[in-house]
Structure 1
Amino acid sequence: MKGLLSGWDSLDPALRWLLRINLIALTTATLLLGATYVLGFRHTAVEIDLGVMVVSIVLMLVTSPLCRRYGAPAAIVGLTLSALLFAVGGTWATPNLSPLTALLTLVPLLVGFPYVGRRWIQALSVVAVVGSAAVAALAEWRRVEAINELWWVNAIVIAASLPAGVAVVVFLVRDAYTRLQDQSAQLVESRTQIVEVADAARRSLERDLHDGAQQRLLAMSVTIERARKELLAGRHEGAAALLGQLAADNREVVTELRELARGIYPPLLTERGLVAALQSTARRSTVPVTLDVADVERTGRQVEAAAYFCILEALTNAAKHADATEVLVTVRGRPHLSFSVADDGRGFDRDRVVAGGLLGMEARVAAAGGRLALETGPGRGTVLRGEFPADRPA
């Protein structure tokens, strides 16, 4: 079973957990209803509900391999089809189930809200509204048709199905409440992190300007004064040599300021996207970089910026601190945007290193709705991994 559901491993942990809860609830209800059927409680309504539950389970299982390529939308589509089939089939066979089946049409919308984009939410809202209304109407029509049904048929079906459906809704509500609490705690923590990251970024920018362009400009002012004295003394050859040196120094300052500007926000990232910006960065890296990219398309600006600056920070660390001889940057666009930066450097002990840069990367990725993970240790290199949800609006 674990191998059968391995496709769900690429999903957000909370979504993966909800899908498994739903599958367990459906399977439990099917087994209970199947047991009553085997014990002799045979009726057409029981047979219909059993068939509906089995097909619903199959639909859920089919989403697992599809999630490897399409991510959360594949899971949500499978959940929607499963819920609608269960709602319509269950209502047709047992009209008294309509309060539960109408509620089930809302489940895909509630589950999918954090994981899919605006268009998906609009479509799932239509499914919830139209589906619940259709189920209620079908129940009233079937209730008249099935007025003489044996009472024990409805009792058995409801007893077998209702607890599982209620369990799914209860777990869904609990997950939403837990997620809200976690987000509230993260918001409080992020306020402090934002201040710390902003201060660290300002200090880094000030240090780069002071150690780089500012020192060069001061040296150029000294050269200009020397060239002026050479001209006043009539030593034109010496003045010409100093002016040539000034021209070279000026080009170096311009280049350095351009590099600094690219570090703040490279125009190439805005104009041509993440892949082009990374290709340019890899060519300028002092450490050899292998760039492995597949299925990457333009996405939201915030997501592209978060991925780019995390990769840039990792490359900078590999060159300055890790003594790395090579770096592998892997970027994948499906089922959702993800990246990894692996170097063969000396690694480090996270408990003994100031985590300012890492805090900045985590804050950027979290603001874009993604997750970041770091694997490292003394003597075994460093691997930085990041992933972002699919269909993140721009």
Structure 2
Amino acid sequence: MRGPLSGWDSLDPALRWLLRINLGALTTATVLLAATYALGFRHTAVEIDLAVMVAAIVLMLVTSPLCRRHGAPAAIVGLTLSALLFAAGGTWATPVLSPLTVLVTMVPLLVGFPYVGRRWIHALGVVAVVGSASVAALAEWRRPDAVNDLWWVNAIVIAASLPAGVAVVVFLVRDAYTRLQDQSSQLVESRTRIVEVADAARRSLERDLHDGAQQRLLAMSVTIERARKELAAGRHEGAAALLGRLAADNREVVTELRELARGIYPPLLTERGLVAALQSTARRSTVPVTLDVVDVERTSRQVEAAAYFCILEALTNVTKHAEASEVRVTLRGRPHLSFSVRDDGRGFDRGRVSAGGLLGMEARVAAAGGRLTLETAPGRGTVLRGEFPGDRPDGRHEPMDTAG
């Protein structure tokens, strides 16, 4: 089933496994019911439930290619339609299944909560309330006119159908517990990282000011003193030359401070977004930069800032250390924002290089809900990749695959 389900690979691991468990449970129930039917238990209730299960499986399979473009919402819609069909058809054929089918109508809401926005949650809430009430009413209406009153027929249908619902509910509970544990561990780790990254940022800023603007300002003060002495001695031509040099130094300091301010937070990033800010950065780079941008739109400030500063840090490292002849920066907006920075420089051995800069980039990306990977080796260049979850209408992010 790997091929037909490859569209689910872009989803969050928990959602992906839930869909596969649901599909597996439905398939198992369908096979069991079909075997029972083939053995001679050919009753209308079994036939209806078989048709409903097959249709539910088809709906689940249809979501796979749609997830490549639409992500988690496509999976949730498919799961909702499949659940409603299963609940309505199962209740119509076998009213005694109503406790299970009522539960099934609530599954899309429980599954979708971490992955879709507020409006989706409201809609799924309506589906859960109206659907469960409708299924309960349908069961009561159909109970006197049950398709088959033989107890063993109902028992066979329940035994074949129950595992699907139980498997989904058990997985939901286990997944919720696992997520709480992971979030607790990540919170402890993030506290340590915040302190380390803040200290590294302060050291970097102090170093840039000391080695750059501060040294130039000291040199300018010396030039001013020399110009004053030239004027006092009546050597106006020498003073004019020194003042000209002073003006040039002043322009360089202003440019350097402007670049430093842009490095702290560029106004272009806020005003026009990630692509415009990177275009400006690429034009100023001393190493030729090629930008490859596809389907990138404005996203949250946190994600844009994380992507921008990681790319900026990577370009700075290329300029200072990589001895590269070119850099290629790739940005993709679908199915979620991702980037890569690839250079043809000398690369490096990660075991022999301080991880301070990479630690800061990883912390930024992790705070935005994404992940960062680095590929490098001596003589093979460096590739930095980052991925971020998709934005949701409520300002939160869709979780994404964080598996290594």
Please, what TM-score do these two structures have when normalized by structure 1? 0.96
C-alpha separation in 2, matches of 1:200 and 1:371: 20
C-alpha separation in 2, matches of 1:102 and 1:152: 22
Residue 158 of structure 2 is matched in structure 1 by 158
8 Å contact kept, 1:327–1:344: yes
Residue 340 of structure 2 aligns to a residue in which SS?
A: strand
CA displacement 1:59-88 (0-9 Å, x = unmatched): 111111111111122112111211121122
Alignment of 1:17-166 (within 5 A): 17-146=17-146, 149-166=149-166
Residue 169 of structure 2 is matched in structure 1 by 169
Task: Using the aligned pairs only, state the percent identity.
Answer: 89
1:380 CA drift (Å)? 2.1
The range that moved more, 46-55 or 340-349, is: 340-349
When the two chains are superposed, the root-mean-square deviation of aligned CA atoms in Å is: 1.6
8 Å contact kept, 2:94–2:147: no
1:114 CA drift (Å)? 2.2
Q: Which residue identity lines up with residue 221 of structure 1 in the other structure?
A: S
Q: Measured at CA, do residues 184 and 245 of structure 1 come closer, stay the same or move farther in structure 2, by a change above 3 Å?
A: same
CA displacement 1:229-263 (0-9 Å, x = unmatched): 22222222222211111111111111111111111
C-alpha separation in 2, matches of 1:286 and 1:19: 49
Q: Which residue identity lines up with residue 291 of structure 2 in the other structure?
A: L
Alignment of 1:1-394 (within 5 A): 1-146=1-146, 149-392=149-392, 393-394=394-395
C-alpha separation in 2, matches of 1:324 and 1:118: 47
1:127 CA drift (Å)? 2.0
Q: Measured at CA, do residues 287 and 166 of structure 1 come closer, stay the same or move farther in structure 2, by a change above 3 Å?
A: same
C-alpha separation in 2, matches of 1:348 and 1:95: 67
8 Å contact kept, 1:63–1:74: yes
Runs of 4 or more above 4 Å deviation? none
8 Å contact kept, 1:92–1:138: yes
Residue 313 of structure 1 aligns to a residue in which SS?
A: helix
Q: Which residue identity lines up with residue 284 of structure 2 in the other structure?
A: R
Q: Which residue identity lines up with residue 114 of structure 1 in the other structure?
A: P
1:216 CA drift (Å)? 0.7
C-alpha separation in 2, matches of 1:61 and 1:197: 45
CA displacement 1:290-342 (0-9 Å, x = unmatched): 11111111111111111111111222222222222222211111111111222
8 Å contact kept, 2:109–2:128: yes
The range that moved more, 158-167 or 236-245, is: 236-245
Please, what TM-score do these two structures have when normalized by structure 2? 0.93
8 Å contact kept, 1:72–1:390: no
The range that moved more, 78-87 or 200-209, is: 78-87
8 Å contact kept, 1:87–1:135: yes
1:149 CA drift (Å)? 1.9
Q: Measured at CA, do residues 351 and 80 of structure 1 come closer, stay the same or move farther in structure 2, by a change above 3 Å?
A: farther
1:349 CA drift (Å)? 2.6
CA displacement 1:148-178 (0-9 Å, x = unmatched): 6221221111100101210111012111111
The range that moved more, 35-44 or 342-351, is: 342-351
8 Å contact kept, 1:116–1:391: no
8 Å contact kept, 1:286–1:319: yes
C-alpha separation in 1, matches of 2:347 and 2:113: 39
Q: Measured at CA, do residues 267 and 93 of structure 1 come closer, stay the same or move farther in structure 2, by a change above 3 Å?
A: same
Q: Which residue identity lines up with residue 164 of structure 1 in the other structure?
A: A
8 Å contact kept, 1:29–1:160: yes
For structure 2, which runs of at least 5 residues remain unmatched after alignment? Answer: 396-404
Residue 322 of structure 2 aligns to a residue in which SS?
A: coil
C-alpha separation in 1, matches of 2:353 and 2:109: 43
Q: Which residue identity lines up with residue 226 of structure 1 in the other structure?
A: R
Q: Which residue identity lines up with residue 89 of structure 1 in the other structure?
A: G
Q: Measured at CA, do residues 105 and 200 of structure 1 come closer, stay the same or move farther in structure 2, by a change above 3 Å?
A: same
